[in-house]
Structure 1
Amino acid sequence: MSTMGPISEPLTVTYPIAETFHSLQGEGAWAGANAFFIRLGGCDVHCPWCDQKETWPSQHHPRQTVTELVQEAVTAKPSFVVITGGEPLMHNLQPLCQALKNQGLRLHLETSGAYPLTGQFDWITLSPKPYKLPQAEIYSLANELKVIISQEEDFSWAAMAATKVKADIPLYLQAEWGTEAANERIFAYILSHPQWRLSLQTHKYLGVR
């Protein structure tokens, strides 16, 4: 990974930032890996069980420039940078992605797919929601599919989404954190649908960011 060097794209582009932090990825195929998170403010998907509702109004969050965000990421020296939200694709991610890529950083995206893809990513975690339907083209670009389960009807939504992604990517079911029975439902479902895996929010169990 390179040290901070010249960046050719607009340095004054800003994004509403809910938080940035350096931790371990807690979910999915990269769970346990060293990651720097950039959580963007703004989301209109509005999942009723969302654990990041404070990110929904983008105007409530301070804005940071591309330069500031890249400097934080480079200083952290992570294995990869995760751009998440909120719904990060509400914003044009091209300036931020290009600047991070110019520093040799691997980029991961966590998205519901509700908006067109901008920026270049090494890994896309697609977590589609029925509350605001994904863009059709995002399914074929996903590197992993993660569906949140809070009620029985969510399994049908998961099954439908699985028919749209590439056949060789990992499929995850993840319990909505506040629904105690969800893990039991997922456990039983996976035993009869072996193409799926269980995703745990390990960072919450460990009590870390």
Structure 2
Amino acid sequence: MTSIKIVEIFRTVEGEGKWVGLPVSFIRLEGCNLRCPWCDTSYSYDGKTFEEISIDSVIKEIEKLGLKRVCITGGEPFLTPQLPELVKKLINRGYKVLIETNGTLWIKELEDIKSKDLYITCSPKPPAYFIHPELLPFITELKYVVDEYLKIEDIINEKTLRIIKNDFVVLQPESNRPEMVRKALKLQEEILKTGYESRIIPQCHKILGLP
């Protein structure tokens, strides 16, 4: 039976991106290949805050939570080689699955999952804002943390223009700081001048006091 490293499984309200406000079950996987200075889930890659359990047991825990939307996050989920098996089993049981990734990695087996119920949110990170070329065609949503590093050319460029659509880009002010809200508003105006739209969405779960 396939096992997987789980940091936590919980039910909450989605606080980020286009699922914002919806009730969602979260699966947080262990490990991350980046070390962002403002990361608020560093416990997900400390190498000790996890339990190794079977994928079938994970699904049983999700079933207990009673929701049909599941967000798989981290850390960085694409560091987990068992991710495709977990996703397939969830979708086969009627779940809508959202994977949150920093965009630097890809798992080839995910290409076999041809389902309208699989969503991938890519949140490129500084300083390079690199997106793995093989991931690009599968991105459902681009989400950028608006911090001191982010520039318009990190959002609108040759790679992203191949997938970008109106209302496709989310700007998330870092830690909901007022100065980053102001910067997000300026970036939104710059994006408009290029002919595209974006949404400014704060980390709503923090405003609501939820996990």
TM-score range, shorter chain: 0.7 to 0.9
**Which residue does the alignment assign to 2:59?**
70
Partner of 2:103: 113
Which aligned pairs between 1:19-38 and structure 2 lie closer than 5 A? 19-38=8-27
Whichever residue aligns with residue 36 of structure 1, its letter is: S
Q: Is the 8 A contact 1:174 1:199 kept in 2?
A: yes
**Range 52-61 or range 12-21, more displaced:** 52-61
1:94 aligned partner, one-letter code: P
Counterpart of 1:104 in structure 2 is: 94
Could you tell me the TM-score, scaled by structure 1's length?
A: 0.85
Q: Which among 159, 163, 166 is matched to residue 165 of structure 1?
A: 163
Q: Percent identity among equivalent residues? A: 27
**1:73-103 deviation line (CA, Å, top 9, x unaligned):** 1121213111011000001212211221222
Q: Deviation at 1:164?
A: 4.1
Q: Deviations over 1:147-201 (max 9, x none)?
A: 1111154433222363242435611111110744111111122134331210211
Q: Please list the CA deviations of residues 15-38 of structure 1 after superposition, one character each: whole Å capped at 9, or x if unmatched.
A: 211211111111111111111000
Q: Which of 181, 186, 197 is the aligned partner of 1:188? A: 186
Q: What is the alpha-carbon root mean square deviation over aligned residues? A: 2.1
Unaligned 5+ segments in structure 1 are 1-11
Q: What code does the residue aligned with 1:76 have?
A: L
Q: Is the 8 A contact 2:5 2:51 kept in 1?
A: yes
User: Aligned pair 1:134/2:136, yes or no?
Assistant: no
Secondary structure at the residue paired with 1:204?
A: helix
Q: 2:144 aligns with which of 126, 139, 147?
A: 147
SS of the equivalent of 1:172 reads: strand
Residue 50 of structure 1, CA deviation: 1.0
Partner of 1:54: 43
> Structure 2 stretches of 5 or more lacking a match?
none
1-structure distance, mates of 2:141, 2:17: 8
Aligned residue-pair number: 198
How many Å separate the matches in 2 of 1:115 and 1:198?
26
Aligned to 1:9: none
